[in-house]
Each structure stands twice: as C-alpha cells, then as structure tokens.
Structure 1
Amino acid sequence: MAVACLWGHKGTAEGHSFLLITGLPECQIHAGGRSHCGDMVSPYSVAQGCSPSVASPGPPPAPAVSNNRDCSRAGNRAQGLAPVPNSDLLAFPTSWPVEGLHLTLDPPGDPAPSWQPRLLRQVPVPAGAGGRPRGLHCSPDGLLFLTAGAAPCLHVLDLEGRSVCHLPCRVPGIGDFVPEDVAVTAAGLVVVSDLVHGAVHTLQHTARDPQGRWVTVGTFLAPQGLAVDALGRFLVTNYVPGAVHSFTLGPNLEALAPASVLGLDGPRWVGLGPNGGFAVSEEFGDVQLFGNAYQPLGSLGRLTGHTFGSPTGVCTDAEGSLIVADEQRREVTLFPRTGAPVCLVSKGLGRPLGVACVPQSRLVVADAGDSYIKVYQYSELT
C-alpha cells in the first residue's frame, strides 16, 4: 500500500477552476520495527512508551519512507508517494483516550458482545427517487442528505424523516447526473460523487444563482464514497484504480493540496477514523485505517479479529468509535476505542449501505434491501 501526493493541471469549465489529476513520482513503503508493551490497549492502537526492541504480533509495523523517484502512469491512475517532512518514519498514533464506551475483551469461547438498539422509525425513500438508497450524510445542523435510485436528484430530509427539499443534479456542459454519495462541510458546502461521468461536483451559490448550480471540482476514473475529514479535506474513493484521493477547495472552488492513498482492493465507502484519520471499506475485503498523514494503521479485520463479508458505509460516533455496515452479513458493527467489536444491528436489515451518526446518540442506516432509511437509538451503550 502506498501513499501519494498528486499534481494536476488547472483548467476552466464554465468559468470555474477545476483540477485534473495526473501522475507523479512514486516511492515505496517498507516494513519497519514493531513495538511491545505489557499494558492492555485497544486492538487497533499502540501504547506510548513501548520499546521497539521487542517484537510482538499485533499492530502492523510502522512504515518507513524511501525516496524512490521512479514512476509510471497508466491512464488517469495517479501513482506515487510524497516524502514526509522532517521524518523518515511514519509513526502509529498513541492509544485512544480512555473515555466513552468501555468494553473488556471476552474470554475465549464466549460469543461476541451484541445488543440491539431501539428502532425509532423507518423512513421510506422519497417519492421520485426511482430506486434504492445509497449514500447518506448528516450535516452539522441535523439535516440528512441522501442519494438514492436513478433520478438526477439529491434528497434532503430532517431527522424525523420529513422531506425538506430536493436538489436537481445537472452540470452545464454535461447535463443530468445521478449522485453516488454525498458529503457536507461544516460551512454547508455540498459535494457529491458522479460515478457515470467520473467526476466530483459541488453546489455553488452566487448572487446570479441563489438556488445554486453544480460545478465540477475533480475528475476520477470511478469515484464512489465521499467524506470530509477532521482537517476539512475532502476524501473520495476511486474504485477501479484502488485509491482514495483527498483535496481541499479554494475560494474559487479550485482543488488544492491533492494527495492519494494507493493499493486498496475495491475501495467503496470512506469515513472518519481514529485520531483525525480515516477508514476505507473494501468490497468483499476489510476496512483499512489511515492516520491524518495518510500513514497506514492496519485493517479492522486483522486488528480486532472481526470477519467482514462486504463492508460498506463507515462513520464515527460522538465517542470516537467506528461504526461499519456490512452488506453481505446484513449487520452494523461498532468498533469501540477499547474492547471487542459490538454487533449493533443484526435484525431487520436487508442490504445496509450508507450509515451516519446523528445527535443524541442516534444511528441512521440506508437499507437498500427494503428501501427504508432506519433510525436507531443506541444511547444505552454510552
């Protein structure tokens, strides 16, 4: 798995700046030493003060960076690695803070912890969606943004499931598009992925267009999942080349500071991860964890012993625990900062895809099995 910094060429479309991602130099990540500590820590964290002289099974080794500048490019797939400033070693984060949900590891032979949260309501997919729900995002002001079906439209609901509005999806020069996933910044900027046209669009509001119009801010081979990380960077999965790209947007909606993580196996959804990093679900594989400097932290499957079927949506709750939906196993699992995974929902799900955490310890799941948005209360766990 490699980390890359992307470079591109600026252009204009309908008078707006955008960035076309191209290739760049590549570097390799090599295995480093492992650390050992006798203290009990979370399965996917490393305690401070561990001695690097004693090897132990557990978290993957810390990767070192080699400045190999040889590279190649195939099509639109960007490859490479940017050296980390002032360091030859990408270090793992320290243990997660001991707060919030606390679970102890079960003795051998005991079943995995399981608790069924209370189902508050089931909201049908809005009329006119023309299909099943996919992507889901909860904005800071408590609005649910939903992508569903084959209609060129983004749906906005409140937490009671009432329709607030729908945003037609049409880009000048391209025409109608069907949004695949959606993310919203703290400032209210809406960004969607467009798998058919291989693009990422954002909704721009101006004095001439107070209702907003969609502007293309990036092009990729197969963009799917979207998220906004703790630093305000947009994250987009690129399924075909197996990558996650990140970028920020300037005042004129120009893409800035592009970077990539390569070597993923069918990345689908992306969400916030531990310590300001992010987590990526791989189709029929695992969920990969990365730090805020894009350093690989290992996979949830290997680090917790959990077996995934086909992981989909990923989100983080108020306590900093990861929540992952599994389309094949028809369940949603909580991965707390300490302790074993907890099966949150295993009944009544047909094909869970998008997930989002909302205020007051509520969890929203987009179920493509029966085309309902399901709202759960799981505050009893916290």
Structure 2
Amino acid sequence: MSTETQTRTQTAKETFHFINDPAEAINDALTGLTCLQPTLSYNKEYKIVYRNDLPTFSESHVTTIGFAGGGHEPMFGGFVGHNYLSAYVSGNVFASPTAAQIFQAIKMCQPNGGKSMGTLIVCGNYTGDILNAGLAITRAQAAGYKVHFTPVGDDVAVGRKKGGKVGRRGLSGHLVALKSACALAQRGESLDRVAEVMEYITANVGTIGVAFDRVALPNATITDLQTLPPATIELGMGAHGEPGLQQISPIPSPENLTSQMLDLLLDISDTDRAFIPFSRASHPTSDNEVVMLLNSLGSTSDEVLARFAELAITELEKRGFTVKRLTLGPLVTSLKMSGFGITIWRLPPDSGELVERKLALELWDEPVDVVAWRQ
C-alpha cells in the first residue's frame, strides 16, 4: 500500500456556518450544553464545563479533566457527568486552552488542595496541548495539587517513522480509555489505579479515519472550504485537516475501504504502525475480542456509520475477531468535516494483564449520565 499522499489540485467552495458570532461560538455552544444537561455548570471566563456536584464529589473521588480545542464537539463537554468526566476545558476553535484555563480547572477539581484524591488530566497528543498542560501541571504540583497527565495518540495513519519523538495524533481513542478510567474514579479508586488503567487501555487502542472532504473553520459566517479533487477520498486525514496517509481515486467500494482501514489497524507485520498488540492479524489467540467505535467527523449520518459498522463486523469475523461492544455517532467531530473513523480496542485476556476482560467489559457497561455517549 502506498504511504505517500498524492499531490492534486484542490478547489475551494463556500460553506455557511449557522452561528451568531465566530468569536462567541464556543461560549454559545457550551452555554447551550448546560441547558440540555441541567446537572452541568459553565464557567465562561475560563471556558470550563463541570458537574454541579464537583465540590462534594471531589472530596472522596479522583476527578478527571478532558481538554481540547473547540470545534470537536461533543468532545469533551458532552462527556461530563456521572461515571464520566468531572470537567472539560475548551480552547478556541482548533486551539489549545491556555495554561491558566487548565490550572483553574485543576483548582476547581481539588478545592481542598493536597487533601484531595487527585486529578487525571487527558488530551489528544498535540504540541500546543502538551505545552500548555505542562505549564499548568508544573504550577499545580508546586502548589500541592495531585495530578497525573495522559496525552493520547491513537492515529495509526501516523507511523513510527513519521511520528518520531512527537508520536501519533489523538483522535477518538481517549474516549474509549476514559470510559473505563472514569468508571473506576466513580467507584472511588485511587489516582494511581485510575491513571494506570487509562495508560494501559490507550496502549491497546488504535484509530484510522477517512475524509470525504476537508474542514472549514468558522472564522466568519461564510468561509472557504478546501475540497478534495473529484471522486477522491483521503485516508488518514487528521482531525484538523492535517495531511493523511493517502488520497484514493477512484473511490473504493465501502467493503474494500473498510478492509483497507482494518488492515492498518490489525496488521502486526507492519512494523511502522502495528500499535495494537494483537498476537496476529488473522485468527489471534487470546486477544480476539474487541470493542469498536465508529465516529462521525461531523456530517456523516448514523445510517452511513451503521452500514460501515456492519461491514467492519463482518470483516473482523472473517479474520477471527469478535466485536463484544459497539458504539457509534458524532463523538469527536471536526466541525462539518465529511468522513468517519474506526477505533478498535483490543480487550485484555481473562488474566495476566493489568485489567482482566471481565472487569474491562464491566467498566465499559457502567451507565453514564452525559449528553453524548450512546449505550
């Protein structure tokens, strides 16, 4: 398979954003979220969505913070609530929140300072997010707060050679790991345990996306949309429109596209991007059960996602895998980008690893009270 992005002439067209004011788009969206979910509150000054019971919850539980640039809604605001995140910090569109914003969220999650059980902080693996988190956490730890930071990179389109020391981009894998980590936090587990499970699961997760068109930033009501060439899709495009792995034309059939995406996730012989530690690509031994997530990048309907989910399940079964759980929907979007992603979580064996399979599925099945998660 070619791993070089083809260079093609791209055209532009106009797209309309139904927003009041681009500068207030994030505030409007997050304020509206609290109307939809009355158990949430919003700190407009620092762009922080948090659960209403945070002061009392934090007295006896590890708290969890997700942060990201805006434009990826419902991530993470739509996942704040019972059995999921304690708080979400939003930056401007496609821009990391500042260190001051993140530090404020830490203080809100630990109103008793060093007497609390601590806070897990999670973001996608992007340079700006990492730098600002580092500054905030340095300040927080110097002030006596207990913090563990996990940046997540799950994009298998970015191989080891290309990723280098920076690593892979974050897509939707952190939602999979957070589902279990936050459930443990709700059970009253320690920060060390919550953090080690978060890190363990992210090491067993991979995502590959495909875009049918590029993203358009809402820096005005009407903006230019950079389109792909006719009859072309881009495999591995990033969540902000970063170059993908390959432009494909003519467009393959849904069956062939699904198979190609799963090859990138499952092929253990591809040393550059075999990140999920399966024992083999076909008919694995003790690690043949998976959880799968189908994510809309913004404008792909549930019906399209469901069809690709059906194709992926069929293809996985041919290769000897069993899909134990499935969820789909607009979970980590890129504004109105047309496309979708497949995330695979390799479930642990019955014993011998940090988490047993029975517990992994129990944590996944824990009911949540948030806006965006589907069970």
TM-score normalised by structure 2 residue count: 0.30
TM-score normalised by structure 1 residue count: 0.29
Q: Of Structure 1 and Structure 2, which has the larger fraction of its residues in helix?
A: 2
Greater relative contact order structure (CA < 8 Å, 6+ sep) = 2
Q: Of Structure 1 and Structure 2, which has the larger fraction of its residues in strand?
A: 1
